[in-house]
Amino acid sequence: MTILRRQIGWISLMLTLMLVSGACASSSPEGSGEITLATEEFLDTEVVTSVHDAVLSDLGYTVEWTTLDIGLIYQAISDGDIDAYASGWLPTGHADYWDVHGPALEQLGPLHEEAHAGTCVPQSETDVNSFEDLQDEATAARFDNVIVGHFAGSATMLRTDDAIDIYGLDFDVLESSVAAMMAEVSPKLEAGEPVAWVCWEPMWWWARWDIKFLEDPQGAYPEADGVFQIVRDGFKDEEGMEAAYCYLDNVRFSADETSEMMRLVGEEGQTSADVARAFVDDHPDRVAEWIAGC
């Protein structure tokens, strides 16, 4: 388990919002205590967690991060070892974990309802728009009969295996990591070559390349999910945690905004902490809405 303790010494959110006309007609909420946020090795979760870190630190909390695999995240929250998780794909993407641990968890939000997973190809592949198009032998050969994937056993990889079975495709799914997947995919996208890979939204590649999801008429992948904030049962009622709970329930930003923050990290080399801080500082009215009534 890797724990990253970060206490950001920025000027308080209340003073920041007071600079905006009318933004703080009432006092800003204050919290106290330590909050442990769970994250995983996916950049979308990292940037959202970084935004939470910035706002919660401004509210007076000491924020810790714990990096775990997704199944262990749900287990740790249900056991009370983790306070919150920023990227619960529900009702379908994380349904298996929710079915097991849901009674010990509370679902807040959603952050947005634009989370989608599938298999992507370049928009330039004009004759390949559906999984059904990959049933053609010549078309499959153009893609080397491969869908490039990432972590074995993840929800998106399991759904991709389902798609291959449902559509009767002569394709293999390569297992690796997100970084290794993109090391394989990126050069082909840059060169305008055919490539198919396991993809999702939000993600930084939507801000960089002209790509598309393959249509999935048989429903191998679920419909779009919400990205919900997950907290442990009883978190709301603990002394000092009221403001944190309220914020996590109210925070909203879009898949496109998440993808752009991810692009700044993945493509321009900024840290997720710096990108999140800039987003928070550039949107004081939005932040004021997130903590209104807290």
List the chain pLDDT tens, one digit each, 294 residues. 333 333 333 333 333 333 332 333 334 577 779 999 999 888 899 999 999 999 999 999 999 999 998 899 999 999 999 999 999 999 988 888 999 999 999 999 999 999 889 999 999 999 999 999 999 999 999 999 999 999 888 888 999 999 999 999 999 999 998 889 999 999 999 999 999 999 998 888 887 899 999 999 999 998 888 999 999 999 999 999 999 999 999 999 998 899 889 989 977 789 999 999 999 999 999 999 999 988
Asked which of 157, 188, 213 is the last residue of a domain, the reply is 213
Q: How far apart are CA 120 and CA 216, in angstroms?
A: 11
Q: How far apart are CA 142 and CA 50, in angstroms?
A: 40
Asked which of 152, 178, 213 is the last residue of a domain, the reply is 213
Q: The tokens of 204 are what?
A: 């930084």
Say if 218 falls within a structural domain: no
Residues 98 and 136 in one domain: no
Q: How far apart are CA 249 and CA 107, in angstroms?
A: 9
Q: How far apart are CA 225 and CA 215, in angstroms?
A: 17
Q: If we measure between CA atoms, which residue out of 201, 194, 143, 208 comes closest to residue 172?
A: 143
Query: CATH number, domain at 148?
Result: 3.40.190.100
Asked which of 190, 213, 236 is the last residue of a domain, the reply is 213
Residues 41 and 160 in one domain: no
Residues 97 and 29 in one domain: yes
Residues 107 and 8 in one domain: yes
Angle between helices 272-282 and 255-266 (to 10 degrees): 140
- For the chain, how many structural domains are there in total? 2
CA atoms within 13 A on the CB side of 224: 10
Asked if residues 83 and 231 have their Cβ atoms less than 8 Å apart, the reply is yes
Query: CATH number, domain at 103?
Result: 3.40.190.10
Residues 34 and 170 in one domain: no
Which residue segment(s) compose the domain that 105 sits in?
Answer: 2-114+225-290
